[in-house]
Amino acid sequence: MDEERWNSIVYEFLWHLSVNSHIKDLQQETAMWNSWADNEGYLDSAVGRFWRRFPFPSTKSDREKWADSSMPWVNKDGSFDQLQYVLSELDQNPSSRRLVVSAWYPANATVSKLPPCDYTFVCNVQRNELNIHLTQRSADLALGVPFDVARYALLASVLAQQTDLELGSFAHTLVDAHIYCGSERRGNFYDDYQQQLQSKMKNADDREEYLEIRDWIEENAPVEIEVGHDHIPGLLTQLAREPYDRPIVDIRNKNIDELSREDFKLLDYFSHPEVRFAIAE
């Protein structure tokens, strides 16, 4: 990961903390969301918008209870700030089992071009440690998941700092985890040789053998029509590499609404040469 990718992660995280559903500012740092925005740059479903301004239903039963404007988590426009609620509870009632944040609004998700993939997370505190469990309905293992894990690591760090908690564990449930393998003849190759490829993967005893499997694919598979849309060779390259020690992320302890790019520093980070994956729509 180079400075450009680190910038993308931080700016996308800050964008999620905002209530913005427009990607104009984000486009200067990453093109990740371009394919799902409309002609004016708006997304049908923006995670941060639901984190910070989750709408109340337009119709309510007299038998139901709802937060009202006297509560600090209810915004002036009548929406609900889930992040502020979680921060308040982590500070005042950390043993709560109701620290759930959702970006899934069914009436929106059914018609959205891209409803949230990382649609809900739960905070849980044990022995003064903040743990986060993210549930993801759809997971692009090569390209999307590494960014998701990094963003939620930043989120956990910020929430822990704000509430004087220690960092605990990050759990990640992937409901539909998938690897894109190209289209047409390239994609059909994996259908035809699935058992052979699975056998090679199962019998790989060391990292070098992953490179042999990658080379076998490149020698036998049809040429890609759209370069980079087959993620399997790149993932095999990654599997063959020995991981470096984890870096240190230093974040200035500030209110979530005051954080900026300059408040995030990545220290002692070392990486292997870049492996590029194309976004598959």
CB 182 within 8 A of CB 278: no
Taking the C-alpha atoms of residue 250 and residue 262, their distance in angstroms, rounded to an integer, is 11
The residues, any chain, with a CB within 8 Å of residue 205's CB and separated by 6 or more, are none
Which one is catalytic: 10, 37, 99, 117? Answer: 117
Bridge partners, 267 (sequence order): 248
DSSP assignment letter at 188? H
What three-state secondary structure class fits 74? Answer: strand
Taking the C-alpha atoms of residue 14 and residue 81, their distance in angstroms, rounded to an integer, is 16
What three-state secondary structure class fits 124? Answer: strand
Is the torsion defined by CA of 106, 110, 115, 121 positive or negative?
Answer: positive
Taking the C-alpha atoms of residue 119 and residue 23, their distance in angstroms, rounded to an integer, is 19
Is the torsion defined by CA of 15, 16, 22, 27 positive or negative?
Answer: positive
- Looking up tokens 């093109």 gives 31
Q: Which amino acid belongs to residue 126?
A: Q
The reply to whether 117 belongs to the active site is yes
132, containing H or E segment? strand 129-140
Q: Which residues are catalytically annotated?
A: 117
